[in-house]
Amino acid sequence: MLKLSGLRLDTLIPSNRIQRFALSLLALASLGACRTGEPPNFAHARDFALVIPIYNDAGLTHARTTLRPHLGSNDSFMVVSGNAEGEVDTLWLNRAAARLEQTYPEARIFAATSGLPNLAAAASGLGPIFEALVYVYEPNFPNQPEFSWDFGTTLRRFREAETQAREAGFRTIGKPTGRPILQNNLQRYAWDYGELAATVDELFIQTQTYCRESVAAFSEALDTLSQQYRTQHGTGYGTQDSATRSALPWVPQVTVDPDAPNGTPVARARACIRAAQDRGLLGAMLWWSPNYAAHAVDFLRLMNADAARSTPRETPQRVEEELENARAVE
């Protein structure tokens, strides 16, 4: 985020966002804290970027404390409200983002919600701390009556979401279900995630169910997505965009929350992400729970231990040994 020092707002911020900028300043002022004298914001210069979701105050606290020694300079945050059900809480989103920016002033911060009405409310009520709006697209969400398995309808929904975000001055990230990638009974709908990616700036694709199944299934999903993306964009994984601090064309997701339907043990999640790294992906989403923050820490330790060694990827069979070694180092 660009820091202001004696510069006119109207030279730096589109006119339709100045009001939201004022709201963000108020949120920052309400914190009553100072950054001076704080320790370094990121402990690791890990190239592989992780998107860290936050959906309540407990997660926000852990992100600023428990996870902080393990996060990398390319990691970003997705603050979530109004996901499966309920109205989006823009006041909480602005407050949470302000606190994250206080701790991580250089990090990318996104706001996520589901349903076009919630997205419209977010677009009008969020401050410029947020780089992008994330449009969550899942079946069976009370917030999302517009969901359809029909791919043509899905493309129209994503274009509507992109228009809402762009007109409010935000970039757009889609977070679609990943079930049509490999699920047999959904193949008749012929989803093409490469084509879907063309409607927005980035995609966070929900691939966690395949990691829960096996590393092989996760790898197959990655290869399918890569082929679809290559057909539409000329490359399987895209390139980083320096203008937006390493924007990720598309990323998969793993879940280390053991209570989640698609949660996996840390060792399995690490093996899945290793498969993504081996294929040249630039990042992934790490879904976690503040109730099991230690699981997220263990995953991050493994990632950082690999990055620190700067050696070829280990085999999945050695993940447990890596975890013990990473814990011993600390």
Segment 234-260 shows an average pLDDT of 70
pLDDT for 241 beyond 70: no
Q: Identify whether 193 is part of a domain.
A: yes
pLDDT of residue 150: 98
Query: Residue 234, by phi and psi: left (phi above 0), alpha (psi -120 to 50) or beta?
Result: left
pLDDT of residue 325: 57
Residue 16 carries which DSSP code? G
pLDDT of residue 43: 58
pLDDT of residue 233: 76
Counting the structural domains of the chain, the total is 1
Lowest mean pLDDT among 15-19, 24-28, 123-127, 291-295: 24-28
Q: Identify whether 90 is part of a domain.
A: yes
Q: Identify whether 34 is part of a domain.
A: no
Let me know: does 43 contact 68? Beta carbons within 8 Å: yes
The whole-angstrom separation of Cα 113 and Cα 82 is: 5
62: Cβ contacts below 8 Å, ≥ 6 apart:
290, 293, 296
169-210 per-position pLDDT tens digit: 999 999 999 999 999 999 999 999 999 999 999 999 999 999
pLDDT for 7 beyond 90: no
The whole-angstrom separation of Cα 21 and Cα 80 is: 20
Name the helix (H) or strand (E) containing 49.
strand 49-54
Lowest mean pLDDT among 82-86, 122-126, 263-267: 82-86
Angle at CA 166, nearest 5°, toward 161 and 168? 105
306: Cβ contacts below 8 Å, ≥ 6 apart:
274, 313, 314, 322
208 three-state secondary structure = helix
The whole-angstrom separation of Cα 98 and Cα 102 is: 6
DSSP 143-196: T-TT--S-HHHHHHHHHHHHHHHHHTT-EEEEEEB-HHHH-GGGGGG---HHHH
Give percent of the chain with pLDDT exceeding 90: 71
Tokens of 218: 């996760």
Q: Identify whether 32 is part of a domain.
A: no
pLDDT of residue 236: 57
pLDDT of residue 308: 85
Tokens of 46: 């890990």
Lowest mean pLDDT among 162-166, 197-201, 312-316: 312-316
pLDDT of residue 230: 87
98-119 per-position pLDDT tens digit: 999 999 999 999 999 999 999 9
Segment 122-129 shows an average pLDDT of 97
Segment 57-70 shows an average pLDDT of 97
Q: Identify whether 8 is part of a domain.
A: no
Segment 219-228 shows an average pLDDT of 96
The whole-angstrom separation of Cα 242 and Cα 224 is: 27
Name the helix (H) or strand (E) containing 287.
strand 283-287
Let me know: does 198 contact 159? Beta carbons within 8 Å: no
Lowest mean pLDDT among 33-47, 89-103, 292-306: 33-47
Let me know: does 100 contact 107? Beta carbons within 8 Å: yes
Segment 62-66 shows an average pLDDT of 98
Give percent of the chain with pLDDT exceeding 70: 75
Q: What is the span of the domain harbouring residue 281?
A: 40-329
- Cβ burial, residue 303 (10 Å; 0-12/13-18/19+): buried
20-38 per-position pLDDT tens digit: 544 444 444 444 333 333 3
Mean pLDDT of the chain: 84
pLDDT of residue 232: 82
Residues present in the chain in total? 330
Q: Identify whether 140 is part of a domain.
A: yes
Task: Read off the CATH number of the domain in which 218 is found.
Answer: 3.20.20.80
Secondary structure string (H, E, C) spanning 312-326: CCCCHHHHHHHHHHH
Segment 36-42 shows an average pLDDT of 43
Q: Identify whether 283 is part of a domain.
A: yes
Q: Identify whether 151 is part of a domain.
A: yes
Lowest mean pLDDT among 38-47, 274-283, 290-299: 38-47
Let me know: does 182 contact 207? Beta carbons within 8 Å: no
The whole-angstrom separation of Cα 123 and Cα 38 is: 32
Query: Nearest to residue 85, comparing CAs of 148, 165, 144, 6?
Result: 144
pLDDT of residue 38: 37
Segment 47-74 shows an average pLDDT of 96
pLDDT of residue 237: 57
Higher-confidence residue of 246 and 161: namely: 161
pLDDT of residue 231: 83
